[in-house]
A and B are shown apart, each in its own frame.
Chain A
Amino acid sequence: MFLKAMQRCRGPFSEESMSAAISQQWNVLIVQSISVDQQLAVHSAWYFTGSRKALIFLATRHHFGTMSMPIQIPEKIEAISPDDDSMIDLRNPAVAAILSWLVPGLGQMYQGRRSKGILFMSAILGTFLVGLGCGGGKVVYASWKPGEARWAYVCQLGAGVISLPAAIQSMSLSGTTKTPLFGTWMAPPLQSGQYVSRSYAEKLIRGPDIDADDFFDRPPLRQFRGDQLSMWHRRLGRWFEIGTLYTMLAGMLNILVIFDAWSGPLDDRQSLAAEAKKEAHKQSRTGEKP
């Protein structure tokens, strides 16, 4: 893309000189009589190739005539496939890792490893949803109240954006409105003596576990006088535990998926050989002799 942009510009710099510059990791490129169009083309090319040094073009774009610009060729971050020794372009590993946390497999898709991304997405999200279904939608919730801290949520949080509503529900229920944002979905269980809004209490009464008698009337709120977690356990039995286990494991395994997006496939047996090959590949790119 960079060379294409330069060719369009028909500037005083030749394709050969640009190739020579690109073959080096660090270089100082002397660009003479650069026009505004050329600057913009160079700037956009560098922007899209991801170089931080693109900012230099912004800073120097008003300087005409002879100008000296240090440029850094963005080094491709690559991993080596342990199966066929092919290079895997990891693009921006940090972005890939964040994407993989948000939606399992999305980081791999961003890196062009589409089939692997689909595999991770279906495996992790499928397991999480099956767990959620087994637990009747009650097993993913966040609660940090003394004696009822939900440590399983720390693992479930690994599955990404799908588990985030639980944190929002917990915060909104303990806020001033005393009403979860998304109804009863992923809302933490009520403890004895907890105050909730009248609208939320009515929603709970319409559900399977709670009756109107389970609340004291404390206008403008209502005070719960049962133990909702025990009610869930009584109704769901072992399915609560199975659902919790499935969602926890999905979240924990996604940590491996995030690491795969960050640094490529793991293979301890070949890691030393891979390092050597990577170094050789790097040297062949820079034109240095080993």
Chain B
Amino acid sequence: MIGECMFLMHGLSTWMFSTVHLFGIFDSIPSVFFGFPLVLLASVVFAATHHESPDAIRWATIHWTIWISGILGVVFLLVYVLSQGA
């Protein structure tokens, strides 16, 4: 049973990896953009651990996304400006 599960997981991850690389479209995307889904994930989890009703979770997700994106955006800008100066 465990072996079969592992085989399935292995197959799934191999398939996902080959899908990601087969099309080659993701290779041209700058790495920083791969952080957006993580910001959304963190917002959803933060919102859902602070609220119980779906509507409140939805609004809190938007609220957290704006805050996290804002803070990370400022940090990103700061690093960018500093790197330009150097």
Kindly identify which residue among B9, B15, B51 contacts A265, using a CB–CB cutoff of 8 Å.
B51
Tell me if A242 and B34 are in contact (CB < 8 A). Answer: yes
A215 to B59, CA, bound (A): 57
CB distance from A251 to the nearest CB of B (A): 12
Count contacts between A and B, CB distance < 8 Å.
103
Shortest A9–chain B CB gap in Å is: 39
Partner of B46, one of A132, A165, A185, A256: A256
CA–CA, A136 and B57, complex, Å: 33
A136 touches B41 (CB 8 A): no
Cβ contact within 8 Å between B41 and A133 = no
Closest B residue to A84 by beta carbon equals: B53
Is A201 an interface residue when CB atoms closer than 8 A count as contact?
no
B30-67: CB near A (< 8 Å → 1, else 0) gives: 01001001100110111011111111110000000000
**Alpha-carbon distance A160/B44, docked complex (angstroms):** 19
* Chain B interface residue number, banded: 20 to 34
Q: Which of A60-112 contact B (CB under 8 A)?
A: 81-84, 86, 88
- A47 touches B (CB below 8 Å): no
| Stretch of A10-18, A34-42, A119-127, A148-156 lying at the B interface | A119-127
* B42 A253 Cβ-Cβ under 8 A: yes
The residue in chain B whose Cβ has the minimal distance to the Cβ of A169 is B6
- Residues in A with CB closer than 8 Å to B2 are 182
Given contacts A133-B16, A137-B17, contact A123 B10 (CB under 8 A): no
CA distance A133 to B37 in the complex (A): 15
* CB neighbors of B among A167-211 (8 A): 182-183, 185
Least CB distance, A257 to chain B, in whole angstroms? 7
Q: What is the bound-complex CA distance between A182 and B6, given in angstroms?
A: 7
Contact with A along B1-23 (1 / 0, CB 8 A): 01100100110111111011100
Measured CA separation A89–B41 after assembly (Å): 26
The answer to whether B16 and A182 have CB atoms under 8 Å apart is: no
Considering only CB atoms, which chain B residue lies closest to A165 in the complex?
Answer: B6
- Is A233 an interface position by the 8 A CB rule? no
Q: Contact at A119–B48, with CB atoms within 8 Å?
A: yes
Tell me if A267 counts as interface (CB < 8 A to partner B).
Answer: yes
Binding site for B on A (CB under 8 A): 81-84, 86, 88, 113, 115-116, 119-120, 123-124, 127, 129-130, 132-137, 162, 165, 182-183, 185, 238-239, 241-242, 245-246, 249-250, 253, 256-257, 259-260, 265-267
Pairs across A and B, CB under 8 Å, 8 listed: A81-B53, A84-B53, A113-B52, A119-B57, A136-B17, A183-B6, A253-B41, A267-B51
Listed in ascending order, the chain B residues whose CB lies under 8 Å from chain A are: 2-3, 6, 9-10, 12-17, 19-21, 31, 34, 37-38, 41-42, 44-46, 48-57
Given A82-B50, A265-B50, 14 other A-B residues pairs in contact with their CB atoms under 8 A: A83-B51, A83-B52, A119-B48, A120-B45, A129-B16, A132-B16, A133-B19, A182-B3, A182-B6, A185-B9, A246-B38, A249-B41, A253-B41, A253-B42
